[in-house]
Structure 1
Amino acid sequence: MIRKATKIDISKIMKIIAVTINEMKSYNNTQWDESYPQAINFLKDIEAGDLYVDELNDEIRGFVCVNYIEPIEYNYINWQSLEKAMVIHRMAVNSNFRNQGVAISLLKFSEELALKNGVSYLKTDTYSINDKMNSLFKKFGFQLVGEMKFLGKEKPFYCYDKIISKNI
């Protein structure tokens, strides 16, 4: 079940983050590290009502932040549309639940949330060397629309968007 995250979820989320960071390091992906994301990022997402967790039997299977906040770097991307968009941020799947469709479920939820809010356009980005997320976005029908320098990282981030069909 996907629900809004609460402050009680932060410790479980941070455990998923720690495992994810170690896994990313194992294949030289430095998108996330000890400095980002931190608990304060998730606390702000929760306070804004933008963080959602996929929970099963009191265990968080994954999480995603969905809101209208676009980094300033998005201003220089040639997006497919000028429509108002919802943006997918900080998404991860608990390593105990990988390859079980959790990420796809979170993306479907993001689409449904956007449509429920009268928005039929999604944007997101990920580090160019984050092969798993790049593959996931493409598999789910996102279009690669550009790249940007972001968060002081050495390599570019890839920007994706998707115009959502109203008949999900």
Structure 2
Amino acid sequence: MSEAYSDAELRRILTQTRNIAIVGVSLNPVRPSSYVARYLALKGFRVIPVNPGHAGKVLNGETVRASLSEIDGPVDMVDIFRRPEAVPPIVDEALEAFPDLRTIWMQIGVEHAEAAATARARGVTVIMNRCPKIEYQRLFGELRMGGFNTGVISSKL
């Protein structure tokens, strides 16, 4: 069963995050991980792609890294596009590589309670079974432009 996250919590994460490492990103532009990376980069986030099968190639102006430990500089959020069973070593590597990590974000369909507990024990916020692109669009008004009722009230009388 998915956890509930408040709009305030999701909005806080998305406004405070600047650098996102996306683990499992694809270079194929029709794959969800690729268009999520592109969208977030277009919104002003630094998106660092991580995929050992594409290491050294370039995606959206950033060199693809083989692992999280190859990233120099700060990472605020690690966004995981991998199967649930692959999550624990990714979380362990993220916690080791980034002492100031704020958020572990697992994409839609990805949940791992034990890995989440490990990250939370280190003070890291964990979001599971959600997409930062969709949440950004929902919380910052882009879905409303398409006629979707997002449940977010943007003005008051």
Q: TM-score, normalised by structure 1?
A: 0.33
In terms of fraction of residues, the more strand-rich structure is 1
Q: TM-score, normalised by structure 2?
A: 0.35
